[in-house]
Amino acid sequence: MANKQPTLSFWQIWNVSFGFLGVQFGFALQNANVSRILSDLGADPHQLSFFWIVAPLMGLIVQPFVGAASDRTWNKMGRRTPFIFAGAIAAAIGMVLMPNAPLFVAFMAPMIFGVFMLAIMDASFNVCFQPFRALVSDMVPPKQRNVGYSIQSLLINVGAVVGSLLPFVLTNVIGLDNTAQRGEVAQSVMWAFYIGATVLLGTVLWTVFRTKEYAPNEYYAYKGMDANEVAKERAQVKPMLERLRNFFSLVIHMPKTMRGLAVTQFFSWFSLFIMWVYTTNAITQHIWGVDKKWFDQTYLSTLESVPLEIAAAKGAAGDWVGIIFAAYSLFAAIFSIFLAKLADKVGRKLVYSSALALGGLSYISFLFFQNLTPVDVNLLITQVTVPMGALYLLIPMIGVGIAWAAILAMPYAMLAGSLPADKTGIYMGIFNFTIAAPQILSALTAGLILKYVFDNVAINIIALAGVLMIFAAASVFFVKEAEEN
């Protein structure tokens, strides 16, 4: 018989997830700026998705391993927090080094160094992500699970708002340069990554020192398990072949809820990957009117330098991507406040599906916001002049933000109740397959689709992402949720 797990206060739940604010701060900087950095360092637009394959590949490799290891870890720091702390340190190092790729030209080509640092950052982010998901499942009782993952979603999006805005603020408020010639990284982006590394470490340390994880006996008592039996099973040293067999058995016999969610995750994360990789190119071409030839590295290699007006347009569009990414994260953060109560009232499926459908329609609406008329925009912290179409893009960001908030919270809230308590970490790691696999497939195919189907007109592949998100919305109704005591 399970002992009743203590109800947590709001601030206890907050502390459990607070470090995710910093992790997402860094992740948002990466999402909004890596395509820009790699393009400036010499990547062709239709090859960008190949470089971005590093991110999901690291998740595919790292998260199951970290999940299994954290399930078996109990030390003075805790169960999940040692991995969160180690991942944060490694991610911060990668964030400091990546924008300095041109300094390492004596050792390797800057673009290769940039991709190498991207791999380190992504591996480290994944070391943090999985234990944070499992930590909420460990610490928060079932009746507070919607609230727990909604607070995590809120903090994730607050971090994403600030991280996405930072390069724009550093350019338009502080005055740092946002332009870069081929083979360089803009000054505003470099300092944004330095600040992001600092915030990441600070917030993770807050969670590590303010959250006291349950001792093994307490934890297993709350989950209705015999701690001694679990300890005996864990003490057995099994051959590698048997451990691999057991792992694949877990994959094959995953809970039905996870199996159903895998379909939804496939379409939604395939779509998200396209957005992160190609939004900068899409709005630079579609909204700023920069011809697609200025993204062709073969053409650029024939020139001594990029014309100042083209570099300025690319820089302005890159900064505006930070604005609209911050906008969708802000709307996601606001929606996260109401997400738990809404899910409790009308059901997780309806909330999740409606949010994804709205996100899909919002992507498609990008096609209709082309307007090159300059307009002055007061952003409170500064005033900028952008094409009218860029300002209109804030409207679909409402729908994208609502979809993002649901993607961050609802699958985990639906999944947590179906997982065995002693295998929560490894199953959360396995569940990351449903995030990593569609991104890998997107990385392998999106560039080819952009080149051969859409002739490198990037706005069209954003519309394709919208169609896939609508498919994800429809698939939610086929997910079978587990009954939970």
pLDDT digits (tens, 9 = 90+) for 294-309: 777 677 777 777 788 8
Rounded-to-integer distance, Cα 234 and Cα 228, Å: 10
pLDDT winner (highest mean) among 19-28, 186-195, 360-369: 360-369
Confidence of residue 382 (pLDDT cuts 50, 70, 90): confident
Place of tokens 């697609």: 292
pLDDT winner (highest mean) among 23-27, 103-107, 444-448, 462-466: 462-466
User: pLDDT at residue 454 above 80?
Assistant: yes
Q: Is the pTM of this model over 0.85?
A: no
Least confident of 56-60, 172-176, 468-472: 56-60
List Cβ neighbours of 209 (8 Å cut-off, separation of 6 or more). Answer: none
What local confidence, expressed as pLDDT, does residue 361 receive?
A: 96
pLDDT winner (highest mean) among 56-65, 167-176, 460-469: 460-469
Per the model's pLDDT, the better-predicted residue between 223 and 169 turns out to be 169
Rounded-to-integer distance, Cα 128 and Cα 122, Å: 10
Rounded-to-integer distance, Cα 61 and Cα 277, Å: 21
Give CB contacts under 8 A, 24+ apart, made by 60-65.
Answer: 60/432, 60/433, 60/436, 60/437, 60/440, 61/123, 62/123, 62/126, 62/127, 62/130, 63/126, 63/129, 63/130, 63/428, 63/429, 63/432, 63/436, 64/247, 64/426, 64/429, 64/430, 64/432, 64/433, 65/429
What's the DSSP call for residue 301?
Answer: T
Average pLDDT, the chain: 81
Confidence of residue 183 (pLDDT cuts 50, 70, 90): low
pLDDT winner (highest mean) among 57-61, 301-305, 369-373, 403-407: 403-407
What pLDDT digit, counting tens, does each position of 69-111 carry?
A: 777 777 777 778 888 888 889 888 888 887 887 776 656 676 6
What pLDDT digit, counting tens, does each position of 396-412 carry?
A: 999 999 999 899 888 88
Least confident of 5-14, 132-141, 440-449: 132-141
Q: Name the percent of the chain lying above pLDDT 90.
A: 17
User: pLDDT at residue 251 above 70?
Assistant: no
HEC per residue, 6-49: CCCCHHHHHHHHHHHHHHHHHHHHHHHHHHHHHHHHCCCHHHHH
What local confidence, expressed as pLDDT, does residue 484 receive?
A: 44
CATH architecture of the domain covering 10-478: Up-down Bundle (1.20)
What local confidence, expressed as pLDDT, does residue 227 receive?
A: 67
